[in-house]
Structure 1
């Protein structure tokens, strides 16, 4: 089993990715905010509770994240006309521009990371990672 070697390489890739994203998205965007903008572009409007599973964080942290995003003009929050308890989050034009910039920053990171790998091996890597993404969770990780 090569899990130890895989773990070291995976950790380095994640660390490099985080450094790249943090430095290139700043000061107007974070990686978590980019995730929110990406989701809102795909779905128009979402409830804050629907965002939480995509961010692997608490509802309170999502609220604070949305507060910062609204303050910076990336999103707007509006109460549902029929049920005032429901809040809808949607992306602004500023948010769309920042999302495009953020997606380019992300794309540049992966293009550079994949550049030394042949096209055939990139396809193989994508296939293998796809297998990992749909693999059932180990027994120790299931509730």
Structure 2
């Protein structure tokens, strides 16, 4: 039987892992003078091209008023530009500037590249074991979700 202290330890480890990853990411972004929310906007624009503020707010699950302030600061830094749609002047497209495209060359393209540099510090056996155990846990979570959806 699994003890409460083991569950608490597992929760603590999950929280520490997420906290450490966020801390590392924030520190790396700070060196580039970018905040985490700004990096999220840049990521969407890099992956999906120019977006309207409404599209960005849906994809980032944030209010348009919050995103407007983030985009304002990115525009002030010369990292994004706003351009009115030629057909519908009410729509404003937000896109990355050449300055931002140069800057993002310093940021890993994908989460996989970001995680790789830390996972590579582990032995191959430990990575395999971690993957196997995480797969088991995710399977249990999926089974629970699927059983609830059937009800």
| TM-score tier (shorter) | 0.7 to 0.9
- Aligned residue for 2:118? 112
Q: Which has the larger radius of gyration?
A: 2
CA RMSD of aligned residues (A): 3.4
Structure 2 CA distance for aligned equivalents of residues 67 and 14 of structure 1: 29
Structure 2 CA distance for aligned equivalents of residues 80 and 128 of structure 1: 48
| Residue of structure 2 aligned with 1:48, choices 43, 53, 63 | 53
Structure 1 CA distance for aligned equivalents of residues 118 and 44 of structure 2: 25
Measured against aligned partners, the alpha-carbon deviations of 1:69-109 in whole angstroms (never above 9, x if no partner) come to 111111101111111111111111111122222227x7456
Q: Is the CA contact 1:32–1:55 (under 8 Å) kept in the aligned structure 2?
A: no
Secondary structure of 1:103's counterpart equals coil
In structure 2, the CA distance between the partners of 1:62 and 1:121, relative to structure 1 (3 Å rule), is: same
In structure 2, the CA distance between the partners of 1:42 and 1:10, relative to structure 1 (3 Å rule), is: same
* Relative contact order, higher structure (CA 8 A, sep 6+): 1
Secondary structure of 1:115's counterpart equals coil
Q: Is the CA contact 1:114–1:122 (under 8 Å) kept in the aligned structure 2?
A: no
Secondary structure of 1:83's counterpart equals coil
Gaps of 5+ in 1: none
Structure 2 CA distance for aligned equivalents of residues 71 and 10 of structure 1: 37
> How much has 1:55 moved relative to structure 2?
2.8
Secondary structure of 1:88's counterpart equals strand
- Aligned residue for 1:17? 21
> How much has 1:24 moved relative to structure 2?
1.7
In structure 2, the CA distance between the partners of 1:97 and 1:123, relative to structure 1 (3 Å rule), is: farther
Map 1:45-124 → 2, pairs under 5 A: 45-103=50-108, 107-108=113-114, 110-113=116-119, 115-118=121-124, 119-121=127-129, 123-124=131-132
> How much has 1:125 moved relative to structure 2?
6.3
Secondary structure of 2:108's counterpart equals helix
Secondary structure of 1:84's counterpart equals coil
